[in-house]
Homo-oligomer: A and B are copies of this chain.
Amino acid sequence: MKKMKDQNVKGTKDFLPEEERKRRHIRRTLENAFISYGCLPLETPILNEQSLMASKYAGGAEILKEMYTLSDRGERELALRYDLTIPFAKVAAMNPQLKKPFKRYEIGKVFRDGPIKKGRNREFTQCDVDVVGAEFPVAEAELMVMALDAFDELGMSVVLEYNNRKLLTGMLKRLGISSSNVNEAILILDKVEKIGVEKVLDQLGQLDIEGDTRQRIEDYITDERSQSLSYYQTLEQPNEELKEGIEEIEQLQEYIEALDIQSSCLFQPFLARGLDIYTGTIYEVFLKDNSLSSSIASGGRYDNAVGGFLGTNESISTVGLSFGLDVMFEAVSISDEVDVDVFVTTIGCPKQGLQVATKLRRQGKVVELDLSNKKLKKALERADAMGVSEVIIIGGREVEDGCYRLRDMQSGEETTVPFSYASF
């Protein structure tokens, strides 16, 4: 057979059965974890109003550049969703009848027309859990232990880094960064592990920051003590945001200890998360061996989104966690699965083969019916390559005798089984 040249759009790919089996395993493991926490399934559309996806309660300027836009025959301005968080906040705001706490999960495709790297395509799958109406810090603690249990189930060794936006904002303001610059400064600081202190300071310098402030920031981020919570706890006269941030981290740490997950959790005061919407706890999960630079899950608290959509601007407790299926795919390995329980092959009697196969399938077996009219030897080779342990052989003599041959592929032994045993 000839081969057609690659027709796939840049940033998209086909997942052939071997890959897709692993993806299905990851999806189901996550789904089972979500369900055991009492989360309910939700499915939102991929096609959205552009105005919704570009709302100021949504992803912010960076992500909008990567948004796929289109219009329909009714000349509506549409966009493909770039995450599952905004659709969730929309559903919460559109359906006030939903009982709180409303805990939902959604597994689905999202689209971003951005840079491609290992584990990150333009069309990719997110697996999200979000809770609206559950208070700090229990909701956070539940999501954290849920994530750690799911990664454990998948055989992944991870570290969950956490921080609090209030701590970070309060600290930067204390160092002299103005309110209007603080969000951008946070995004720059978040990159310190990737690009190093020098480049962070360079980029902060472009924010119109005075010399004193620059020096204070340099002192701050190069001071090793600033990595531990005690540094912040011992600061004199902390501002209100800083104080709240410290208190929230202390409370969260109590829960982390009660759940005995402290060895997998790490306070990381420069952790920022890319999006504007976060208002409190933020977290990101990385592989312990650092074999992937991207985080494999991330999330946080975003109490202003639902109220923003409602137009009331009230603070409504909302916290979420998003797992990246494609990036997890790179880190998970599964054992070779045998797809087929029984392999049925016939010598010139396809109808009887189909009858036996159908009966076995109705009994819950996975049956491969081989009617290619190969020589028996070839058929057995194919069954062997598939790892099947039992092969049923039906030829003219078997049909006459009202029985089939059952071959144990390991021993090579064959027994004769009356058709009635396959209950037909």
A interface, CB within 8 angstroms of B: 1-17, 20-21, 23-24, 35-38, 40-49, 52, 68-70, 72-74, 76, 78, 87, 90-91, 93-96, 98-99, 101, 104, 109, 111, 113, 122-123, 134-135, 138, 141-142, 145-146, 149, 254-255, 258-259, 309-312, 316, 339-340, 350-352, 354-355, 357-358, 361-362, 364-369, 371-372, 382
Contact = CB atoms under 8 A, between A and B. Distances in A.
Contacts of A312: 2
A329 B415 CA distance: 45
A21 B3 CA distance: 41
A416 B361 CA distance: 47
Given A9-B49, A15-B43, A138-B350, A3 B94 contact: yes
Contacts of A47: 9, 11-12, 68, 111, 122-123
Nearest to A87: B14
14 contacts: A3-B310, A4-B90, A7-B90, A16-B42, A17-B42, A38-B339, A68-B70, A70-B70, A142-B369, A145-B358, A149-B358, A254-B351, A255-B354, A258-B351
B138 A4 contact: no
A9 B24 CA distance: 30
A332 B16 CA distance: 31
A118 B3 CA distance: 41
Nearest to A373: B135
A369 B38 contact: yes
A36 B365 contact: yes
Contacts of A23: 43
B259 A45 contact: no
B16 A95 contact: yes
A207 to B, nearest CB: 27
Contact of A10 (B76, B357, B361): B76
B366 A123 contact: no
Given A2-B311, A9-B49, 20 more contacts: A3-B93, A3-B310, A5-B94, A7-B48, A9-B47, A12-B45, A14-B45, A17-B104, A20-B42, A37-B367, A38-B340, A38-B367, A40-B339, A47-B111, A101-B372, A109-B109, A142-B354, A142-B357, A255-B354, A259-B358
A30 to B, nearest CB: 14
Contact of A123 (B16, B45, B49): B45
Contacts of A73: 113
Residue among A20, A21, A309 having the largest count of chain B Cβ atoms under 10 Å: A20
Nearest to A359: B259
Contacts of A366: 35-38
A46 B44 contact: no
A2 B310 contact: yes
Contact of A149 (B21, B104, B138, B361): B361
A398 to B, nearest CB: 16
B49 A149 contact: no
A368 B109 contact: no
B48 A9 contact: yes
Contacts of A258: 351-352, 354-355
A41 B26 CA distance: 14
A3 B70 contact: no
A14 B259 contact: no
A343 to B, nearest CB: 9
Nearest to A78: B9
Nearest to A344: B38
Nearest to A93: B4
